[in-house]
Structure 1
């Protein structure tokens, strides 16, 4: 007798399609925005102190963004959705609850 086998079709899901879009370990848009803000600070003021301050601020914020992306790569999107939906849900347990 032939042995009964289950022939399921397997499809590969490539990693590039399923992972988050990160840059330097942090959220791409936030990393680029902080780099732009630091570059503006450095090149507008044009002093050594502003260059040191801009670089240190960018390194500090980059560390925080990497920590945030390590906890949840989609944290920015979740937070903005939370802010947008905040006014739609009443703080009651049921729609028929008396105030």
Structure 2
């Protein structure tokens, strides 16, 4: 009698398919949104002060986003899912608990 599933098959998974999509070590969408907001600040106000403030804001926020990306690259998605599911999962021990 032969066993069909007796041999394990190896499947290669490329790293590009399993790694999160990061830009500058942080979440791609957040880095691009921060860069867009900074560029809008710089080019709408058009003063040297706004340029310094815009560049400073971008550097500081990208640094914070990189720290967030090092802690958990999928933190933004997890947080958004947490906010979306909040009405469904109440922080109670039992459905019969008195409020």
Deviation at 1:88, TM superposition (A): 1.6
1:1-99 to 2 correspondence within 5 Å?
7-99=7-99
CA apart distance, 1:7: 4.8
Q: Deviations over 1:47-94 (max 9, x none)?
A: 111101100100000000010011000000011111111122223211
TM-score, scaled to structure 2 = 0.88
In 2, distance between residues paired with 1:90 and 1:8?
43
| Runs of 4+ with >6 A deviation | none
Unmatched tracts of structure 1, length 5 or more: 1-5
